[in-house]
Amino acid sequence: MNVLYFAWLRSRIGVGEEILVVPESVTTTGALVAWLKTRSDGHAQAFADLKLVRVAVNQDYVGWDHPITPADEVAFFPPVTGG
Amino acid sequence: MNVLYFAWLRSRIGVGEEILVVPESVTTTGALVAWLKTRSDGHAQAFADLKLVRVAVNQDYVGWDHPITPADEVAFFPPVTGG
Amino acid sequence: MIRVQAEDFDPGAELAAFSTGNGKVGGICMFLGLVRDYLGDHPGQGAGVNAMTLEHYPGMTERQLAAVEAEARDRWPLHAVLIIHRHGRLEPGERIVLVATASSHREAAFQSCHFLMDWLKTKAPFWKIEHTDQGDQWVAAKEADDDAARRWDR
Amino acid sequence: MIRVQAEDFDPGAELAAFSTGNGKVGGICMFLGLVRDYLGDHPGQGAGVNAMTLEHYPGMTERQLAAVEAEARDRWPLHAVLIIHRHGRLEPGERIVLVATASSHREAAFQSCHFLMDWLKTKAPFWKIEHTDQGDQWVAAKEADDDAARRWDR
């Protein structure tokens, strides 16, 4: 699974992109976050407050119960501040 | 008194500007209109429906009971359609 | 700044002069009004318009536009305001009016520009006569324009 | 049309290309967003900003902006839509974003342009980091931007 991080999530985790083999039990965006938090202190810190995090699957905004598959591109980032 | 007409009021009256000696009894914009209507068929036609006419004294919008003096510039025109 | 003129203007050049990029301006909103080639509210509904002539009341026009600008500056924190309005004969596609506002904040830029156009539409003494194959016709004021201006009453 | 680019753009040239003056367009509304040189909501309140960097999510940005444009075209009768958004390092006074809409009617032009900016602000995946003498700082999303976008809910 291709997992992307942007803005301060990227800074905290230390990389902008990870290609991960995710356990079969991880089938939603919320479960993915729970699993990612176990990977490093940086991950745990980045996902400490999910109110500050948005998630997109295949470049569309989704919620924390959205299904995911190994072929998906999943991105995590803070609320946007462009314009 | 300097009296100006614009747009279709000017077309109906036939001139864009009249320098008039107005009777002393004519002391408001409304009274001026009543007096102007007696001057020609064109004037009478132009002022037939005052809902379609706006009046300005010295280049500010005013109502039909606004006082006027011989030194004033009084303008009549339809609702504006610029922009 | 207010300009009432018969000559065309270059919106790009106006905008370049307007947006000095002084570090305080966060947003510029600009509206450009153009001559349409049809009468009425919808293309194909009425006769074609060959051209129009904008008559105005010199002196009062500048006075009313200055009052509208002052009102906008009173309501919103604006770094700059530009109003250009043409008069005389104009053909379809030609520019009629440009209004631009610059503010630190996007909302103030949008609202003030919108306000200026709505007020200008009901207060600036301009009158359009449209030239069609069926003859000339003075444009009637629109109820919708009065309603649009009334939104800003307070 | 959507463009996401690091390079600067010329608003005048964009506007000239955009306003073809085809006789159907009665109004063009344009918004131009610029980099300010201060943090926070008011000049003098926070530290000075030397520059900012706009990070974005290539692919999703274009996808979300296209969705926002489609939504605007669905809500208003528009002849043309242009969105240009820059990314990368930008200094105070530099242009960040341009949104322009062309319609037969002024109200549709104003509303759609305002809508596009409000939605873009909350949906397009861009993130600003400001570079100040006190260090770098990711810009926090504003409640006011969410509120502005919610106005257009339906």
pLDDT in tens, chain C (154 residues): 999 999 999 999 999 888 766 788 999 999 999 998 876 666 555 567 889 999 999 999 999 999 999 999 999 999 999 999 999 999 999 999 999 999 999 999 999 999 999 999 999 999 999 998 889 999 999 999 999 999 999 8
Which residue of chain B is at minimal alpha-carbon distance from C137? B8
Beta-strand relationship, C49-56 and A73-77: unpaired
Interface B–C counts its CB contacts (< 8 A) at 69
**Structural domains of chain C sorted by starting position, each given as residue range(s) with its CATH number in brackets:** 2-39+47-150 (3.90.1170.40)
The closest of C78, C82, C81, C100 to C25, measured between CA atoms, is: C78
Residue B47 near residue B64 (C-beta atoms within 8 A): no
Chain C residues in contact with B79 by the CB 8 A cut-off are 122, 141
Could you say which residues of chain A have pLDDT below 70?
A: none
pTM, two decimal places: 0.94
Residue D26 in this model has a pLDDT that exceeds 80: yes
| pLDDT > 70 in chain D, percent | 93
| pLDDT > 90 in chain D, percent | 80
Chain D within 8 Å of C43 (Cβ-Cβ)? yes
- Region B13-21 average pLDDT: 98
Residue A43 near residue A13 (C-beta atoms within 8 A): yes
Residue C127 burial (C-beta neighbours within 10 Å; 0-12, 13-18, 19+): buried
List beta partners, residue D31: C29, D99
Chain D within 8 Å of C116 (Cβ-Cβ)? no
C96 by DSSP, 3-state: which? strand
**Structural domains of chain B sorted by starting position, each given as residue range(s) with its CATH number in brackets:** 12-77 (3.10.20)
Q: Which of A56, A61, A78 sits opposite D127 (nearest CB)?
A: A78
Chain C residues in contact with D43 by the CB 8 A cut-off are 24, 104
Residue D10 near residue C12 (C-beta atoms within 8 A): yes
The CA-atom distances, in angstroms, between B71 and each of B36, D27, D101 are: 17, 41, 48
- Residue D55 DSSP code: E
Residue D45 in this model has a pLDDT that exceeds 70: no
The sign of the dihedral angle between the CA atoms of C4, C7, C8, C14 is: negative
Residue D98 near residue D83 (C-beta atoms within 8 A): yes
H or E stretch including C55?
strand C49-56
pLDDT of the residue at D23: 83
pLDDT tier, D88 (very low <50, low <70, confident <90, very high otherwise): very high
Contact state of D126 with A82 under an 8 Å Cβ cutoff: yes
Residue of D32, D54, D57 to mutate, testing the A interface (most A Cβ within 10 Å of its Cβ)? D57
